[in-house]
Chain A
Amino acid sequence: MNSRSFRIALRLFLLFSLVVGSAIFLWNFLKTEKVQALTQSPVVEEIQGAVKTLNNSLSSKWKLKGLSPTPAATNETLARRLSLALTGAVPSLEELRKLENAKEGTDTVNAWLDHLFADKRYADYLAERLARVYVGVEPGPFLVYRRRRMVNWLSEEIGKNQAYDQIVQDMMGSHGIWTTNPEANFITVATRQNMEKKGLDEVKLATRASRAFLGISMDCMQCHDDKFGDHWKQKDFHQLAAFFSKSEIALTGVQENEKRIYETRLRGNPEEEEVGPKVPYRPDLLPENGDLRSRLSAWITHRENEAFSRAMVNRAWALIFGRPLVEPVDDIPLEGPYPAGMEILARDFADNNYDLQRLFRVIASSEAFRRSSSSGDAESPVTGKMEFAWAAFPVTPLRSEQVAGSIIQASNLHTIDSESHIIKKFQRMSETNDFVKRFGDQGEDEVREESGTIPQRLLLMNGKLVGERIKPNPFFNASSRVADYSTSDDEAVENAFLTVLTRRPSEPEKAHFTGILNETYKKNRQNMMADIYWALINSTEFSWNR
């Protein structure tokens, strides 16, 4: 073969590969797979006992208060709540088909949880939410801190459903270099960055640990005794901080140095004094041997230290309901009284090896979770009292990344997850970041309940993310594809509602929206569908959990 024909052959080959490659990509992109139906979860039986106790406690409270709970929420609504809580986005149409096809008698909530727990989006999203509590959102100290590594590590642990006490012990007792032992970033993030002192900030570590792992906010006690509760003394706080006093960052990373002592100025004493480590309650649970940090982490995660399980139960509840059992989420009284459900869930969590997935299952299987957020009767609407007692699902704001994630998911018919094409994932990440920046990030404020703002509304009404994602584009945008491929106006409207709001339209809604689509074709129809998407995305319902 001479060089000319070789070049021609090479060109033909390249052209051929390009065509075949694109065809495969397109095929994958456009094909509609046969959806697998959800099947009964094998764990439904296991959790029945706990769920029953929990439900009894809730229903006797409702009875006592004379509250009649709202009707049961639909399967789609329950799926939406769980997907938002555990993956940060509404479910895709593709996922909803699985739900639709579930066999009669399937416990759809637990089957849906099986589906979510198997998805990497669950581990990634929960890791990010928890990381905000453990290390905050700031980039943190330069050189000695790698937030990304910490989040990836957490995601791996969550992905394999590691026992929660083990995760906490790993972080609390971590040693070594923050890049090879990513859990050590929990310690190194507390490296002082101001000009007065160097080294690790014991006070910051004690504050984080007591808030995150025990649901105890004692940071006021840094400067004075408890003004309100007469419960904590300033000294309690500093004795807790002293557990971190032997830790330092050296060439080999985080390590213990027995020579270090903790000195601070207590109120009433003009001089700094040495403060030794002491736990604020139940000293009998503190092991005698080991380095200070490991001893403290053993005490925190001790089966009899109920504050530990309560703190996670409260957080898990808040993740799912958008509102914790006890407010604020990280300030739970040590001696109660506790709202119905708290003690039952905390005990079940501790008795079952701090199994996070089980905790989510029990909460999601409760009668409280299954309630609608509407009474279904415009004449006697839901009251604040009903929401407070969980006799109605509370209407709470979605976080900025949940809104962004939902816009992006709603503009695709397929699920955007870790299996997705890399371009889509990248697009999703950068679009989410831009959007979150303009929408406003709640930061460490995990479950802040706030009304929306005007710039947020402007962003959804006129912003780039929504505008680009709903405009006519039969290749990339769900709105156009729904307009083009649905077999009737009815079906088109129903698909739009399912994709964006995860519910079917009511009769008046169906009449209104099919009216818009009626006798429209091609580009015009795509534009009309864009208008429908716009209205759905800009509704209260889209930006709030319900």
Chain B
Amino acid sequence: MNLNNLLSQTDPNACGKHGMWNRRGILKTAGLAGLSWLTPLSGQLALAAEKSGKRPRSVIVLWLQGGASQLESFDPHPGKKIAYGGKAVDTAQKGVQFAEGYEQTAEVMQDLSVIRSLNSKEGDHARAMYNIKTGHRPLPGLVHPSLGAIICHEMPELKLDIPTHISILSNQFPARGGYMGAKYDAFKIGDPVNPVPDISSWVDKDRQDSRLKSLDLLEASFSAGRLSKLDEDRTLHQTNVKRALNMMSSDQLAAFDVKQATEEERDGYGDSAFGRGCLTAVRLVEAGVRCVEVTLNGWDTHANNQEFTRKNAETLDPAIASLMKSLKERDLYDETIVLVGTEFGRTPKQNGVAGRDHWPHGFSVLLGGGGIAGGRVIGETDPEGEKEEASDKVTVDDLHATIHKALGIDSSFEMMTPLNRPIPLSEGNPVRKLLET
């Protein structure tokens, strides 16, 4: 393998031409093994390719856990029976309204588009979440990678000390690497007001040095007589210890420290863990991270839907608006795709306890930044709530294919899975209206 091939592999547009374990294979043949799978060379090449233009390189997913009601958020039908008295506000985009409570997000509508016709076939929380987070429906014997894992796998690896896939406030279903491997699992942190977990040693430097010295001795005696490249080819144990130590002492950790942002910026996001998570997401993307997921719980409103959704909006609205503002201020808007997603919507008709139940037909997500057109509305739901189907239906596959396309990832690329069965990254078609300028 010559350098040209190596170059083509690190070109962000070269996605989809390689096999599953490309990187380690390439480095081996290129004679670079021994420098671990993140060599300075490949890192520099990747950086150079990316710095040359403003191409989308990162994704922020704001995950509304529980199934957010489309009617009380981004697809209101004020004055109609199914609104049950809910009001709406005008957005910066003429003729488009959001539900009351989203006044700040309404002002940044030109930076975001809304899909009101997302449609899935999964009405159970765990399955639907799997479906939307991975772009695939659950399949026995296989765990599909989440969007963030696919992006990290398909786009060039960067020379970062901190993880490139991060889940903030993750619940029991954080973004996973699935069949791409645990290496692509999201790194999980809680409320950014707290320090990053597991990042500080319990002992002082002298004792830490002594511990590491002891560790070296143990590693030397273990490797004797075993596979000649045990660490490189099999365990990556010592390699990862080194990288963990790098991370522990890295300046890049500052990106996690929300207290380093100005007070004014912090205030904009609201005093909530989720708000701090969103600000941290921006700071992480600024540091070069590929994908950040931030979770906001509390959307499974089977009872008192109006009350709970109004409360959630108080947290969500300032966070989305500030996030978009921060991205613009930092000149990251064109490089960063933002998805505000949820596992399904809620029934147009309320149930007996003023709640709305699960509704995977025609629900709403926001998408913007990173080359996705802003200010557009895809699909329309029935204002009377009689018809299940929304017009201009967008499938979950289509949503993923749109994001892949914007990032320059070839969705049709088939990965060989552990089932010995090749599966394309996505079987959907990009939503044209969101990609045309």
State the A residues within 8 Å of B (CB): 136, 138-139, 141, 193-196, 204, 207-208, 211, 217, 219-220, 228, 328, 330-331, 373-378, 381-384, 387, 395, 397, 437-438, 440, 442-445, 448, 450-459, 461-463, 467, 471, 506, 508-509, 512-513, 516, 527, 531-532, 534-536, 538-541, 543-544, 546
Within 8 A of A (CB), among B101-160: 121-124, 126-127, 137, 139-141, 143
Q: A211-B140, A219-B419, A540-B238 are in contact. List 7 more A-B contacts (CB 8 A).
A: A194-B123, A195-B360, A219-B139, A382-B226, A455-B163, A457-B243, A506-B221
Kindly report which residue of chain B lies nearest to residue A373, judged by CB atoms: B226
Residues of B with C-beta under 8 A to A438: 188, 197-198
Cα A457 to Cα B243 with chains together (Å): 9
Given contacts A440-B185, A455-B185, A539-B219, contact A207 B225 (CB under 8 A): no
Q: For residue B203, which residue of chain A has the nearest CB?
A: A531
Q: A387-B227, A451-B183, A531-B203 are in contact. Are A219 and B140 (CB under 8 A)?
A: yes
Q: Is the Cβ of B243 less than 8 Å from the Cβ of A454?
A: yes
Contacts known (A194-B122, A440-B185, A454-B244); A462 close to B235, Cβ less than 8 A:
no
A200 to B221, CA, bound (A): 54
Complex Cα spacing A136 to B139, Å:
11
A-B contacts, 29 of them at CB < 8 A, read: A193-B123, A195-B123, A196-B121, A204-B140, A217-B419, A219-B421, A331-B420, A377-B225, A382-B225, A387-B227, A440-B185, A451-B236, A451-B237, A451-B240, A452-B236, A453-B183, A455-B198, A456-B240, A457-B241, A457-B243, A463-B197, A463-B198, A536-B218, A538-B215, A538-B241, A539-B222, A540-B230, A540-B231, A541-B218
User: Contacts A438-B188, A461-B201, A539-B218 known; A217 to B237 CB distance under 8 Å?
Assistant: no
| Least CB distance, A229 to chain B, in whole angstroms | 10
Which residue of the partner chain, among A138, A445, A539, contacts B215 with CB atoms under 8 Å?
Answer: A539
Q: Complex formed: what's the CA distance from A387 to B229 in Å?
A: 14
Q: Which residues of A contact B172 (CB under 8 A)?
A: 437
| Complex interface: chain A residues within 8 A of B360 (CB) | 195
| A194 pairs with B124, CB closer than 8 A | yes
Query: Contact between B227 and A457 (Cβ–Cβ < 8 Å)?
Result: no
User: Are B210 and A381 interface neighbours, CB within 8 A?
Assistant: no
Instruction: For A207, list chain B residues within 8 Å (CB).
Output: 140-141
Interface presence of B260 (CB below 8 A)? no
Q: Does B187 contact A (CB under 8 A)?
A: yes
Q: How far is the CB of A213 from chain B (nearest CB, A)?
A: 14
Binding site for A on B (CB under 8 A): 121-124, 126-127, 137, 139-141, 143, 163, 172, 181-183, 185, 187-188, 197-203, 207, 210-212, 214-215, 217-219, 221-228, 230-231, 234-238, 240-241, 243-244, 247-248, 360, 418-421
Q: Is the CB of B185 within 8 A of A378?
A: no
Could you tell me if B217 and A378 are in contact, using CB atoms closer than 8 angstroms? no
Residues of A within 8 A of B188 (CB): 438, 455
Q: A462-B202, A509-B221, A540-B219 are in contact. Are A531 and B140 (CB under 8 A)?
A: no
Of the residues B121, B181, B207, B223, contact of A531 by C-beta under 8 Å: B207
Most buried by A among B188, B214, B225: B225
Q: How far, in whole Å, are A270 and B143 apart by their CA atoms in the complex?
A: 30
Q: Which of B123, B198, B218, B225 contacts A374 (CB 8 A)?
A: B225
Contact A382 B227 (CB under 8 A): yes
A184 CB → nearest B CB, Å: 19
Q: Which of A138, A375, A395, A535 contacts B211 (CB 8 A)?
A: A535
CA distance A457 to B198 in the complex (A): 9
Cβ-defined contact, A444 with B235, below 8 A? no
Whether A531 pairs with B185 at a CB distance below 8 angstroms is: no
Structural contact, A516 and B121, CB atoms closer than 8 A: no
Q: How far is the CB of A189 from chain B (nearest CB, A)?
A: 10
B185 pairs with A462, CB closer than 8 A: no
Q: Are A374 and B219 in contact (CB under 8 A)?
A: no
Contact A381/B211 with A531-B203, A540-B238 known, Cβ cut-off 8 Å: no
Contact B199 A458 (CB under 8 A): yes
Given contacts A331-B420, A531-B203, A531-B210, contact A211 B240 (CB under 8 A): no
B161 to chain A, nearest CB (A): 10
**Complex contact B163–A454 (CB within 8 A):** yes
Q: Which A residues touch B223, using CB under 8 A?
A: 540
Task: Tell me, rounded to whole Å, the shortest Cβ–Cβ distance linking B39 to chain A.
Answer: 16
Considering the chains assembled together, what is the distance between the CA atoms of A91 and B207 in angstroms?
29
Report chain A residues within 8 Å CB of B228.
381, 383
Q: Is the CB of A395 within 8 A of B235?
A: yes
Q: Please pick, from A381, A456, A516, the residue contacting B227 in the complex, using a CB distance under 8 A.
A: A381
Identify A512's interface contact among B217, B235, B241, CB under 8 A.
Answer: B217
Rounded to whole Å, the gap between the CB of A311 and the closest CB of chain B is 14
Which chain B residue lies CB-closest to A468? B202
* Cβ–Cβ < 8 Å partners of B198 in chain A: 438, 455, 458-459, 461-463
B182 touches A440 (CB 8 A): yes
Q: With the chains together, A451 CA to B24 CA distance in Å?
A: 12
Bound-state CA distance A457–B163 (Å) is 13
Q: How far is the CB of A34 from chain B (nearest CB, A)?
A: 33
Query: Is the Cβ of A540 less than 8 Å from the Cβ of B237?
Result: yes
* A531/B211 in contact, CB under 8 A: yes
Provided the pairs A193-B123, A383-B227 are in contact, do residues A541 and B222 lie with their beta carbons within 8 angstroms?
Answer: yes
A513 touching B127 by the CB < 8 A rule?
no
B200 touches A462 (CB 8 A): yes
**Which of A331, A444, A453 has most B Cβ within 10 Å?**
A453
Chain A nearest CB: distance from B35 CB in Å?
Answer: 16
Chain A residues with CB under 8 A of B244? 454, 457-458, 461
- Complex Cα distance, B240 from A450, in Å, reads 13
- Residues of B with C-beta under 8 A to A532: 214
In the complex, the answer to whether A195 meets B122 with C-beta atoms within 8 Å is: yes
Q: Which chain B residues lie closer than 8 Å to A443 at the CB level? A: 143
Nearest-CB residue, chain B, relative to A448: B418
Known contacts A455-B198, A456-B240, A457-B240; is A527 also within 8 Å of B163 by CB? Answer: no
CB-contact partner of B218 in A228, A444, A535, under 8 A: A535
Q: Tell me whether A381 and B217 are in contact in the complex, defined as CB-CB below 8 angstroms, given that A139-B126, A397-B235 are known contacts.
A: no
Q: How far is the CB of A443 from chain B (nearest CB, A)?
A: 6
Cβ contact within 8 Å between A208 and B140: yes
A136 surroundings in chain B (CB, below 8 A): 140
Q: In the bound complex, do residue B199 and residue A462 qualify as a contact, i.e. CB atoms below 8 Å apart?
A: yes
Contact indicator B224/A540 (Cβ below 8 Å): no
CA distance A512 to B216 in the complex (A): 11
Across the interface, which residues of B come within 8 angstroms of A539, CB to CB? 215, 218-219, 222
* Centre residue among A384, A397, A513, A534 by max chain B CB count within 10 A: A534
CB distance from B12 to the nearest CB of A (A): 23
Check B420 against A516 for contact (C-beta < 8 Å). Answer: no
Q: How far is the CA of A228 from the CA of B207 in the complex (A)?
A: 57
Residue pair A217, B222 in contact (C-beta under 8 Å): no
Given A219-B140, A527-B207, also A452-B418 (CB < 8 A) = no
Min Cβ gap B173→A in Å is: 10
How many Å from the CB of A73 to the closest CB on chain B? 12
Beta-carbon nearest neighbor of B388 in chain A: A195
Nearest-neighbour CB distance to chain B for A12, whole angstroms, equals: 44
Question: Is the CB–CB distance between A376 and B199 below 8 Å?
Answer: no
A484 CA / B24 CA spacing, docked (Å): 47
B229 CB to closest chain A CB, in angstroms? Answer: 9
Q: How far apart are A458's CB and chain B's nearest CB, in angstroms?
A: 4
Q: How far is the CB of A281 from chain B (nearest CB, A)?
A: 20
- Choose among A211, A376, A395, A454 the residue that contacts B230 (Cβ–Cβ < 8 A): A395
Complexed CA–CA distance, A448 and B418 (Å): 9
Which of A217, A219, A374, A535 sits near B224, CB closer than 8 Å?
A374
Q: Is the CB of A193 within 8 A of B222?
A: no
Contact indicator B211/A534 (Cβ below 8 Å): yes
Q: Which chain A residue shows the least CB distance to B344?
A: A195
Q: Which residues of B contact A512 (CB under 8 A)?
A: 214, 217
For the complex of A and B, the 8 pairs showing the least CB-CB separation, nearest first, are A374-B225, A535-B214, A451-B236, A540-B237, A193-B124, A458-B198, A457-B244, A539-B218
Q: Once the chains bind, are A450 and B210 in contact (CB under 8 Å)?
A: no
A378 contacts B123, CB within 8 Å?
no
Give the complex CA separation of A395 and B420 in angstroms.
24
